[in-house]
Structures are given as C-alpha cells and as structure tokens.
C-alpha cells in the first residue's frame, strides 16, 4: 500500500510516498508560497498527487498542515492567516471527490505527535505530551495511543497559555503567551535584544558551547520560561513522558539536562520521579509519518 503524504508548513511543503510500514520511498519539498493563497496551494497539492496518481500507485492521501484543523470536518478551522482562504477549505472533500481515495487532514503538531508514537520517541508509550518548539510552540496530547482533540478538535494549543501578564504581543492577538517567551523565535529575539545581532538557533547553541557568557545567561532565562510552561503541563497531566520537537531537538542531552535541572527547582519530586523528557526522533519526517498513520487507521476502519 502506498500513501501520498503532504506536510504543509508556512514556508515549505514537504511530501513523499510512504508505505504501510512507514517506510519513506521518496520525499521532496517545494515552497508553500503561502501568500498566493488557497487556490495556488490546492494546485500544488493536485500536482503532487498527480505525479503519483498517473502511475496508479496510491491508496490514499494524508495531509498534515499548519493551523488549527478539524479532522472530522476535514478542514482547517483557524490559525493560518498566512495562507489566505485556507481556513474553511474542504480539503478532504475536494481531494476524495477528485481522486476517489481516502483522505485525511490533521494539524502538523498533532501529526508529529502521532508520528513519534508510531515510529519515534513515543513508540512504546500509551500516553505522552509532545511540544514542537519553533517559530511558535505547538502541542499534541496522546491519550491511550490516540490524539486527545477536545470538543472543537483544537485542543493542546500550549503556545497560547499566558505566562506573563501584559507581556509581549503574540500573533494570536493576545499578550504574554508561552510561545512569545519560550519558542525558538523568542530565544533569538532575546539574543537580538541583548546583543543586537540576528543569528539562527544552531549558531546560538554553538556560541553557548563555546563558553560565551551572555549567550549562556540568555539560555538560562529562556529555559526558565520554557520550564514555567512545562511545569504547568506536568501538574495538569502528570505525564510519564514529554517529547520535545523542532530544531532544538538536535541539541539532545545538552539541552535535556538543563531542562531537567530547572524542572527540579519548579516541581514536586513525585511528579519528576516518573517523568522522562525525550527529544523527538523523526525530525522533519514526523508530520508526514503521523498523517500517514492517521490515514491508515481510517482505511482500517473501512473507509
């Protein structure tokens, strides 16, 4: 069985052909060109699908996308102002009608969480939380090996939990959201505020490892914010595992150790004793693989 998986981000669209065991047979990426809007984006999706469809290869289409998604309705319901018109587009209906194969759509962080459960850092776990730290902070809640979605299918928006009253402005229109203090963007904004330079995450961590004092202080401040949010989540869920994804997962144990040290100061011991912080293992493929898994379950349930 072959699935076309497509992961739509604000900057690029990753896509690939994946089999029922999660083996990626082919993958590539193109620019999203988000500002061109819904029609152009649909055209890109059609082109990707048809590049496989012509060979009569595919059993379904699995889509992971930025934004808030209602998987049951098969469309994006919020959070993608970046792509004009994308909210409300009946992606699943349009594609199922056009290609006569089963289709699913899910939010990219939820997809990544499911991907990690299937083949990555949560492979043997029934329950865990997943946070993707990047431009913002996204969340996914895995309960009994399924996504916990909430009544409107948009649960786990951890990035918009308020952690600073009257704090920095967030893209959501509110102030002091977790992601404006603890995302990678926030970290690099701290660097700009302190040092007046724009660098990327990898460069930042290299500077810390080189022993730069100010960078190290910035890291400690950022980790403190990151752990403020994590400790609230830990008190709510009492989880056995939290998986951290996004570019920072490349920092591995170096980052994990600092996080655990900080959490030690914030949490009661019995919460921490059972908790494992783990870096995501699937990298950029998590969304593609997770969406594929969700589609395979839909096919199993007799599409």
- Contacts with Zn ion, residue ranges (CB under 5 A): 160, 170, 172, 174, 177
For residues 125 and 143, give the distance between their C-alpha atoms in angstroms, rounded to a whole number.
9
Looking at residue 23, what DSSP letter applies?
-
Closest to Zn ion by CB, 160 vs 278, is: 160
- Cα 106–287–137 angle (5° rounding)? 85
For residues 217 and 206, give the distance between their C-alpha atoms in angstroms, rounded to a whole number.
14
Instruction: Tokens for 236, please give them.
Output: 């709510």
Closest to Zn ion by CB, 43 vs 174, is: 174
The DSSP code sequence of 140-161 is: EEEETTEE---TTS----GGGS
Closest to Zn ion by CB, 14 vs 160, is: 160
Rounded to a whole number of angstroms, the minimum distance from the CB of residue 79 to Zn ion is 10
- Cα 132–135–139 angle (5° rounding)? 25
For residues 6 and 84, give the distance between their C-alpha atoms in angstroms, rounded to a whole number.
19
Rounded to a whole number of angstroms, the minimum distance from the CB of residue 160 to Zn ion is 4
Closest to Zn ion by CB, 6 vs 177, is: 177
For residues 139 and 159, give the distance between their C-alpha atoms in angstroms, rounded to a whole number.
7
For residues 179 and 184, give the distance between their C-alpha atoms in angstroms, rounded to a whole number.
9
Closest to Zn ion by CB, 149 vs 177, is: 177
For residues 114 and 225, give the distance between their C-alpha atoms in angstroms, rounded to a whole number.
26
For residues 117 and 109, give the distance between their C-alpha atoms in angstroms, rounded to a whole number.
12
Rounded to a whole number of angstroms, the minimum distance from the CB of residue 192 to Zn ion is 20
Rounded to a whole number of angstroms, the minimum distance from the CB of residue 229 to Zn ion is 12
Rounded to a whole number of angstroms, the minimum distance from the CB of residue 183 to Zn ion is 10
Closest to Zn ion by CB, 183 vs 262, is: 183
Rounded to a whole number of angstroms, the minimum distance from the CB of residue 66 to Zn ion is 15
Rounded to a whole number of angstroms, the minimum distance from the CB of residue 244 to Zn ion is 19
Closest to Zn ion by CB, 58 vs 77, is: 77
Rounded to a whole number of angstroms, the minimum distance from the CB of residue 167 to Zn ion is 10
Closest to Zn ion by CB, 174 vs 240, is: 174
- Cα 166–172–175 angle (5° rounding)? 5
Looking at residue 175, what DSSP letter applies?
B
What region does 212 belong to: left with phi over 0, alpha with psi -120 to 50, or beta? Answer: beta
Instruction: Tokens for 65, please give them.
Output: 């996308």
For residues 7 and 251, give the distance between their C-alpha atoms in angstroms, rounded to a whole number.
24
Q: Which residues pair with 103 in a beta bridge?
A: 61
């Amino acid at each position: 069985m072959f699935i076309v998986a497509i992961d739509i981000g604000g900057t690029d669209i990753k896509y690939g052909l994946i089999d029922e065991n999660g083996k990626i047979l082919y993958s590539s990426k193109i620019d999203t060109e988000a500002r061109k809007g819904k029609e152009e984006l649909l055209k890109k999706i059609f082109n990707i699908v048809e590049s496989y469809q012509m060979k009569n290869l595919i059993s379904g289409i699995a889509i992971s996308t930025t934004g808030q998604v209602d998987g049951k309705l098969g469309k994006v319901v919020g959070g993608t102002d970046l792509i004009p018109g994308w909210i409300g587009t009946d992606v699943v209906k349009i594609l199922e009608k056009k290609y006569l194969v089963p289709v699913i759509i899910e939010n990219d962080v939820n997809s990544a969480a499911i991907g990690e459960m299937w083949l990555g850092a949560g492979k043997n776990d029934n329950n865990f939380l997943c946070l993707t730290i990047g431009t913002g902070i996204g969340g996914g809640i895995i309960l009994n090996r399924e996504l916990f979605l909430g009544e409107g299918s948009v649960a786990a928006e951890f990035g918009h939990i308020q952690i600073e009253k009257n704090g920095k402005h967030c893209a959501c229109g509110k102030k002091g959201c977790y992601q404006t203090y603890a995302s990678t963007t926030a970290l690099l904004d701290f660097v700009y505020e302190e040092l007046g330079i724009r660098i990327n995450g990898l460069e930042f961590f290299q500077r810390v490892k080189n022993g730069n004092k100010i960078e190290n202080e910035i890291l400690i401040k950022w980790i403190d914010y990151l752990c403020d949010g994590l400790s609230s989540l830990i008190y709510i869920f009492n989880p056995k595992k939290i998986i951290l994804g996004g570019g920072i997962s490349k920092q591995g144990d170096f980052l994990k150790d600092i996080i655990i040290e900080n959490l030690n100061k914030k949490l009661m011991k019995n919460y921490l004793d059972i908790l494992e912080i783990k870096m995501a293992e699937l990298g950029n493929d998590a969304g593609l693989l997770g969406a594929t898994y969700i589609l395979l379950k839909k096919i199993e349930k007799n599409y």
